[in-house]
Amino acid sequence: MPDIFGNRQRRGSSGRIPDSRADGYEKYVNDRYTCPPELHARLVKFCEDEERAKSWVIQKALDAWLTNKGY
């Protein structure tokens, strides 16, 4: 469903579409992260292309990395 400007809405935790886990879902919120500008640009482009929130992408990447390390 488009927003008031005719743009497609993002899926997931962007706040526009309710998350089914919202009632019992606990989350840690960190308003700040740092990374090199090139990496941030890649992250933003990926998020726009895939219509995902940065937090979703970072969670998936961190989970994959930790799993790969055996944690």
**Strand partners of residue 8:** 2
The full set of domain ranges for the chain reads 1-71
pLDDT score recorded for residue 21: 58
State pLDDT tens for residues 7-33. 666 655 454 445 555 566 666 776 788
On whether the pTM is more than 0.75, the answer is no
State pLDDT tens for residues 28-54. 776 788 899 999 999 999 999 999 999
pLDDT score recorded for residue 59: 92
Of 39, 31, 20, 37, the residue nearest 55 (C-alpha): 31
pLDDT score recorded for residue 24: 64
**Residue 8 structure tokens:** 């497609």
**Strand partners of residue 2:** 8
